[in-house]
Amino acid sequence: MKTVGSYWPYAPTLFDYIRRAMPQNAPQSLSKQDVYAVSAYILYLNGLLPAGATLDAKSLSAIEMPNRNMFVGDSRPDVTNPACITDC
Ligand code: HEM
């Protein structure tokens, strides 16, 4: 099951995602401190932080996410397909 803890490779992405997009009905309404706090809570729910842990930029980027090394570079070459309408 893809969760923040089982799937996301970098913890700062969680901060950035919440800061930009959440809450979905009021994006960017949270203060920086709120985003650190709710990020810490989500990482705690995923068993990656103890209860009540606090975060700042340094401690957030120091978190080693479990799925960190499971992302592999896409070795397929970039292809450019010319647009085609007829007789493709
Ligand atoms: C402080 C409050 C909130 C926080 C911290 C938060 C955090 C998050 C996070 C971390 C994700 C990504 C989950 C994942 O991919 O595994 C997410 C996804 C999502 N959240 Fe929130 N959320 C908040 C409030 C809300 C509210 C109020 C709504 C709806 C009104 C909402 C709607 C969604 C939706 C629809 C997604 C899926 C987006 C997608 O997959 O493209 N969230 N949220």
- Examine residue 43 and state whether it is found in any structural domain, yes or no: yes
CB 23 within 8 A of CB 29: yes
Q: Is the pLDDT of residue 88 over 80?
A: no
In a domain, 86, yes or no: no
Number of structural domains in the chain: 1
Note the pLDDT of residue 60.
Answer: 98
Assigned domain for 70 exists: no
Is 54 part of any domain? Answer: yes
Asked whether residue 75 is assigned to any structural domain, the reply reads: no
The CB of 29 under 6 Å from ligand 1? The reply is no
28 confidence band (pLDDT: 50, 70, 90): very high
Q: Quick check: CB of 23 below 6 Å from ligand 1? A: yes
Containing structural domain, residue 31: 4-64
Q: Are 12 and 60 in contact (CB under 8 A)?
A: yes
Burial-class residue 46 by CB neighbours within 10 Å (0-12, 13-18, 19+). middle
Q: What is the pLDDT of residues 30-83, one digit of tens each?
A: 999 999 999 999 999 999 999 999 999 999 999 999 999 998 888 898 888 888
Return the pLDDT at 85: 84
Q: Among residues 63, 44, 64, which one has the least CA distance to residue 52?
A: 44
Q: The domain that contains 29 carries what CATH number?
A: 1.10.760.10
pLDDT of amino acid 86: 85
Measured from the CA of 3, which atom of ligand 1 is nearest?
A: 16
Alpha-carbon span 15 to 2, nearest angstrom: 18
pTM: 0.83
